[in-house]
Amino acid sequence: MTDTILDKEQKLVQLLEQTFKKLSGKVVRQRRVTVSVEKELVPSVLSYAKSQLGYIHLSHMSCVDWPENNNFEIIYILWSPADKVQLFIKTLINRENPEIDNVDMIWKHANTYEREIREMYGIQFNGLVGAQEFILEDWDDMPPMRRDFDTVEYVDDNYTFRPGREDAGDVREEIVKRSGEDIPDFAKKYSRD
* Site residues (vs another protein, CB under 8 A): 135-138, 140, 144, 149, 151-152, 154-155, 158-162, 164-168
Nearer to another protein, 164 or 180 (CB): 164
The answer for residues whose C-beta is within 8 angstroms of residue 118's C-beta and 6 or more apart is: 124, 125, 128, 132, 134
Nearer to another protein, 105 or 135 (CB): 135
Shortest separation between residue 61's beta carbon and another protein, angstroms? 22
Shortest separation between residue 170's beta carbon and another protein, angstroms? 13
d(CA 61, CA 114): 8
Nearer to another protein, 138 or 181 (CB): 138
Shortest separation between residue 35's beta carbon and another protein, angstroms? 34
d(CA 112, CA 130): 9
The sign of the torsion formed by the CA atoms of 39, 28, 110, 132 equals: negative
Nearer to another protein, 97 or 151 (CB): 151
Shortest separation between residue 157's beta carbon and another protein, angstroms? 10
**7-12 contacts, C-beta under 8 A, 24 or more apart:** 8/83, 8/85, 9/33, 9/85, 12/53, 12/83, 12/85, 12/87
